[in-house]
Structure 1
Amino acid sequence: MRYFMKRLLVLLGATLALTACAPSLFPVEMPVTASLSDSGGTASLVPYQPLVVRLPTNPSTGYGWRYTVTGDDVLRLDTVSGEAPAPNGMVGVPGEQVWSFRAQGAGRAVLTYVYERAWEKSTPPAKTFTLTIEVAPGQ
């Protein structure tokens, strides 16, 4: 019985030691979030770090965001979603559109968004959003 208890304590100790090391073995970077007020700025990321872009929208007006990425291939789009605060099924209420990206490798890219109506080809966009992304080399 005493031998069994010693083995159990050694096993528990080893498990605790490995668990304590886990955060440094598998780092998880917090997402960087950008909104309209960050336009013209720079977001610094490390490889595999998430970037979340949240922009106001109201699709009932006919306007929508369109984006382009120029520069190094450092971002991968993960998801696009719409989040509207429309209570009780109200229609036409402004909301938010959310793009989730993930940094890939080191480099620099520029995200450019335009808020426009697709059918108004000669009209300038109602809003624009630009963000420079700098991804540092991994460690």
Structure 2
Amino acid sequence: MQNKPRVITEADQGKEIKLRLGETFTIQLAANPTTGYSWYLLTGPAPWTPVSRKYVTDPHKPNLTGVGGKETFTFKAESVGGGFLRLLYLRGFEEKINTDKAFQVRIVVQK
């Protein structure tokens, strides 16, 4: 049986997250793609690799148009090391990249 991935949320903003080599982790952030905004990953070379990305609407309001939900990014710690994992909440179709909403954590992968 595989362990559940560690979940990192907005409450972890700015923190250092320590992981074990081979561990899977997810980042869950509030989002509402009906506004044109989405989370964009800005991380360069890192000791983790992306596994998946999905969006889930609010389970308490599943059939309402325009209701927000959570965007979830899943990663796997592939090698020992560290770095910053950064995401910006942007409208990808806009020429100017302006956002008041950003998320960053420092990830440290250990043996």
Question: TM (normalized to structure 2)?
Answer: 0.87
Which consecutive unaligned segments of at least 5 residues does structure 2 have?
Answer: none
Structure-2 residue corresponding to 1:62: 36
Match of 2:50 among 77, 86, 98: 77
1:46 aligns to 2:24 (yes or no) = no
Q: CA contact under 8 A between 1:116 and 1:126: conserved in structure 2?
A: no
Tell me which stretches of 4 or more aligned residues in structure 1 moved more than 4 Å: none
What amino acid is the match of 2:34?
S
Task: In structure 1, give the amino acid aligned to 2:58.
Answer: P
Report 1 or 2 for greater relative contact order, CA contacts < 8 Å, sequence distance ≥ 6.
2
Say which is worse superposed, 125-134 or 84-93, in terms of deviation.
84-93
Secondary structure of the residue that 2:11 maps to in structure 1? helix
Flag the 1:107–1:136 CA change in 2: closer, same or farther, 3 A. Answer: same
- Shift in CA distance, 70/88, structure 1 to aligned 2, threshold 3 Å: closer
SS of the residue corresponding to residue 69 of structure 1 reads coil
Aligned position for 1:18: none
What root-mean-square deviation, in Å, do the aligned CA atoms of Structure 1 and Structure 2 show?
Answer: 2.0
Higher radius of gyration, 1 or 2: 1
Q: Is the 8 A contact 1:32 1:43 kept in 2?
A: no
Q: Residue 88 and residue 109 in structure 1: after superposition, are their counterparts in 2 closer, same or farther (change >3 A)?
A: closer
Aligned residues: 110
Identity rate of aligned residues, in percent?
A: 23
Higher strand share: 2
User: In 1, Cα distance between the equivalents of 2:64 and 2:43?
Assistant: 34
Q: 2:85 — aligned with what? A: 111
Q: 5+ residue gaps in structure 1?
A: 1-25
1:90 to 54, 64, 68: 64
